[in-house]
């Protein structure tokens, strides 16, 4: 089965047409040749961009010399009102200090401690669905936000402050594209950035709500009554080199990116995984069998029993990587494949194109979870699979996201069968993450053989 992808634009369009397409949807602004090219150059009046699809070049940029290719400010400008100086946007020593605090909080042993909160959110999600056709994107967004609040602050999404953050983020997402004027024009620092008033208002409200949560948690830590969740863990960790922890303001920045990265990206991947299974009944049946074998009271170690389900989620991340492009800035003159790359040039690494590249994958546009069990698929996964980036800037929550996605898929499949809705085939587009232009519509049908088992699960 060949799942949908955007129709590529014509090879030649005007600069302004390209910029309009790029702002509306990064994916459909790209020509078809990029799925074959090893490298491509894009010229604008103000800067050069180089899309690199060669594994050796990607390793140079992400793994071997990351300090020579820091995060580009051009993309970060669109998210600055919400994310401030979060680890997603910073570079240099500021970034290194942040990672030295954050990384230990997401170590595998710590991940085990977050499993009960993930399980509670997944059980609530499975019980919340109703039979019939529905758009799964709002459902998976609700579920992923629930996971984040339960694991970060020990709050279910129904808690008033958690629910308001979720609603304000949905408003922000609708109003603020990832790219604004500063992504394309060399604006001075004092010039307006093109942030919409409504988007700024939503961002300020989100940050204010998070600040209240952080202040409350700091007081609980001081009183010795704080729950042992991720927020407590991060606020009590110290940089082993400087001995410093996060201030309240710094923690607001980090919680904002945890919510955006941990909720928005997970919701995207989970919705696409469910659609892929609905469009492939045999694969869904196999994953559902694994889910039933999981039983009523799984623990963290039981995730190892979900091998095929994990490959389904891997394949969803390959076909629909939530973050479709990463942009770095060259800090010095480089030569890539015989081309001169000047300081200040933008180096674009596109998981969207690498994951569907004809040189790196067998039948790259096809849905095939078992490809990860073949020698060729394993090699491609090493060389051309970047759903969480790579190198020192790999997503610190990658293990968290994989455990969450596999568990939530299993919990949905224990209780529900999903089928395509005729006339509702999704069309991917990129805004903050890779979503569908018209939602991901599925028909949910109760699995009669396991309704009783799921009803036995105690909700928190």
Q: Please tell me whether residue 326 adopts helix, strand or coil conformation.
A: strand
pLDDT in tens, 249-307: 999 999 999 988 888 899 999 999 999 999 999 999 999 999 999 988 999 999 999 99
Q: Where are the alpha helices (DSSP H) in 348-417?
A: 351-355, 375-384, 398-415
Q: What is the tens place of the pLDDT at every residue in 349-394?
A: 999 999 999 999 999 999 999 999 999 999 999 999 999 999 999 9
Q: Is 278 exposed, middle or buried (0-12, 13-18, 19+ CB in 10 A)?
A: buried
Query: What does pLDDT average to over the chain?
Result: 88
Q: In the predicted model, is pLDDT for residue 182 greater than 60?
A: no
Q: Which two tokens stand for residue 72?
A: 């580009």
Long-range contacts of 183-191 (CB under 8 A, 24+ apart): 183/74, 183/75, 183/77, 183/78, 184/19, 184/44, 184/46, 184/74, 185/46, 186/46, 186/47
Please choose, from the candidates 232, 234, 261, 242, the residue with its C-alpha nearest in 3D space to the C-alpha of residue 96.
Answer: 242
Q: What's the rounded Cα separation, in Å, for the pair 410 and 65?
A: 39
Considering Cα of 246, then 248, then 253, then 254, what sign does the dihedral take?
positive
Integer CA distances (angstroms), 218 to 206, 231, 258, in order: 18, 9, 18
Class of domain 15-455: mainly alpha
Nearest-CA neighbor of 178 among 72, 68, 35, 44?
Answer: 72
What pLDDT score was predicted for residue 207? 95
pTM of the model: 0.90
Is the pLDDT at 449 greater than 50? The verdict is: no
Cα-Cα end-to-end distance for the chain: 39
Range from 67-76, 166-175, 372-381, 447-456 that averages highest in pLDDT: 372-381
- Rounded CA gap, 371 and 381, in Å? 9
For the chain, the residue count is 460
Q: What sign results for the dihedral spanned by CA atoms 368, 288, 412, 123?
A: negative
Strand pairing category for 428-430 and 39-43: unpaired
| Percentage, residues of the chain above pLDDT 90 | 72
Q: What are phi and psi of 139, to 5 degrees?
A: -65, -45
Q: How far apart are the C-alpha atoms of 283 and 285, rounded to whole Å?
A: 5
Residues 431 and 29: beta-carbon distance below 8 Å: no
| Burial profile 385-410: b = 16 or more Cβ within 10 angstroms, e = fewer | bbbbbbbebebbbeebbbbbbbbbbb
Q: What is the pLDDT of residue 80?
A: 82
Is the distance from CB of 58 to CB of 314 less than 8 angstroms?
Answer: no
User: Which is nearest to 269 in space by CA: 109, 112, 395?
Assistant: 395
Q: Is the pLDDT assigned to residue 459 strictly greater than 60?
A: no
- Tokens found for residue 201: 């208002």
Tokens at residue 50, please? 């180089």
């Amino acid at each position: 089965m060949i799942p949908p992808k955007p129709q590529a634009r014509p090879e030649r369009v005007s600069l302004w047409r390209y910029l309009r397409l790029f702002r509306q949807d990064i994916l459909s602004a790209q020509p078809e040749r990029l799925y074959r090219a090893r490298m491509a150059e894009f010229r604008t009046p103000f800067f050069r961009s180089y899309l690199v699809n060669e594994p050796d070049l990607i390793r140079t940029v992400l793994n071997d010399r990351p300090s020579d290719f820091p995060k580009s400010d051009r993309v970060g400008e669109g998210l600055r009102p919400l994310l401030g100086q979060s680890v997603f946007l910073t570079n240099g020593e500021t970034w290194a200090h942040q990672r030295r605090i954050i990384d230990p909080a997401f170590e595998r042993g710590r991940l085990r401690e977050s499993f009960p909160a993930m399980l509670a959110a997944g059980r609530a999600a499975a019980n919340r669905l109703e039979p019939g056709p529905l758009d799964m994107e709002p459902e998976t967004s609700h579920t992923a936000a629930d996971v984040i609040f339960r694991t970060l602050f020990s709050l279910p999404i129904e808690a008033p402050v958690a629910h308001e953050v979720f609603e304000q983020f949905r408003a922000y997402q609708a109003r603020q594209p990832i790219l604004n004027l500063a992504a394309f024009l060399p604006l001075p620092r004092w010039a307006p950035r093109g942030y919409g008033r409504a988007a700024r208002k939503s961002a300020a409200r989100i940050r204010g709500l998070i600040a209240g949560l952080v202040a409350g948690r700091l007081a609980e830590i001081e009183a010795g009554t704080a729950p042992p969740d991720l927020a407590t863990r991060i606020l009590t960790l110290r940089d082993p080199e400087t001995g410093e922890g996060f201030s309240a303001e710094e923690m607001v920045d980090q919680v904002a990116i945890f919510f955006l990265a941990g909720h928005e990206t997970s919701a995207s991947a989970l919705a696409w995984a469910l659609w892929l299974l609905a469009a492939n009944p045999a694969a869904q049946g196999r994953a559902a069998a694994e889910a039933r074998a999981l039983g009523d009271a799984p623990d963290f170690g039981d995730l190892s029993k979900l091998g095929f389900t994990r490959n389904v989620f891997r394949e969803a991340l390959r076909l629909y990587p939530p973050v479709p492009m990463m942009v770095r800035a060259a800090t010095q003159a480089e030569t890539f494949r015989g081309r001169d790359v000047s300081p200040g040039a933008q180096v674009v690494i596109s998981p969207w194109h690498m994951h569907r590249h004809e040189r790196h994958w067998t039948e790259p546009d096809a849905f095939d979870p078992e490809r990860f069990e073949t020698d060729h698929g394993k090699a491609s996964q090493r060389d051309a699979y970047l759903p969480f980036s790579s190198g020192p800037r790999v997503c610190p929550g990658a293990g968290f996201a994989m455990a969450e996605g596999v568990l939530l898929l299993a919990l949905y499949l224990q209780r529900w069968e999903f089928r395509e809705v005729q006339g509702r085939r999704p069309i991917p587009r990129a805004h903050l993450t890779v979503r569908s232009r018209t939602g991901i519509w599925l028909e949910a049908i109760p699995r009669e053989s396991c309704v009783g088992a799921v009803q036995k699960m105690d909700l928190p």
